[in-house]
Amino acid sequence: MFDITQLHGIIPPICAPMTDDGEIDVASVHTLVEHLLNGGVHGIFVLGSTGEFSSLTARQRKLMLDETVKAVGGRVPVIAGILDTSTARCIENGLEARAAGADAVVIAAPYYYRISQHEIIDLFRAVKAAVELPMLAYDVPTTNIKLECDTMVRLAAEGTLVGLKDSSGQAEAFRRVLLATRGLTFRVFTGSELIIDSCFQMGAHGSVPGLGNVFPAEYVQVYNLSRAGDWTAAAALQDRLLACFYELIAQGAPGYSISSSALGGFKAGLKLRGAIRTTRVAAPLHSFGPAEEQRVADVMRRHGFLA
């Protein structure tokens, strides 16, 4: 049994592998999990933004969750996204995550209606009481609601939350939460794959990097170098990953959205590394074809991540 209050390190938000007809590719879920675990990751986050949770059907979400937990087999913690548009739906998702064997859940503000910080507090308390699993908050811009520092401190102090994944991109606010929760049982993770060495210097406990799907061992190395205090080497590797990232997510054909291009870039990288079988993403996003996949291969080769 994991002590979730000691959650740390690199916890990639696992991509959702798909077959050519748009179903969850169960075999690739298992090979992807092995790819991540072989890279030394410290946990896996399933049904996050990089996992296309909002595009999957309820049946597909359940299958992705069940197969991820099964593939991990208790070797590292599995935290499950239960993001939705209402308290009742978040509770349903949370109970499903508990039944599947997830070790913790991740919740954000609802992503349709704009709600107040008081309503967010009510939501998080209700879900925690019903689901009875350790719960982390997710500060993500797509909800159009910023999780305020005072809200995090209040919920951390009372035990409703055990941590935060901050993908807001607001470094000052991130540092303020780290400072304000120091001394509490509260784990703070950056959702950025681009500045994790800097976040570790601030005191972050770990990172949930989307690009960590493609480069798990490399992100674990950034974490280990940071822990060892070798900030120069950590920064050098982070710089390489950052440069590769910006090219990797820009290889979609004209007319592709940034979401299609980013997810396509991740999945093309995973296909090149033998972790999944196709670059299919859930419609209405556009999927990569051979031309885009070749451009991703060229990017990875140029940055020294592919022979």
Greatest Cα pair distance in the chain = 52
The amino acid occupying position 75 is R
Looking at 70, 111, 128, 138, which residue is catalytic?
138
Structural Rg of the chain based on CA atoms:
18
Which residues fall within 8 angstroms of residue 50, CB to CB, at 6 or more apart?
A: 12, 13, 14, 15, 210, 213, 263, 266
List Cβ neighbours of 121 (8 Å cut-off, separation of 6 or more): 151, 154, 155
For residue 110, the number of C-alpha atoms closer than 13 Å in the C-beta half-sphere is: 19
Cα separation of the two ends of the chain: 39
Q: Is 138 marked active-site? A: yes
* 111 belongs to the catalytic site: no
d(C-alpha 305, C-alpha 307), whole Å: 7
- Burial-class residue 65 by CB neighbours within 10 Å (0-12, 13-18, 19+): buried
Catalytic residue from among 62, 165, 267, 271: 165
The set of catalytic residues is: 138, 165
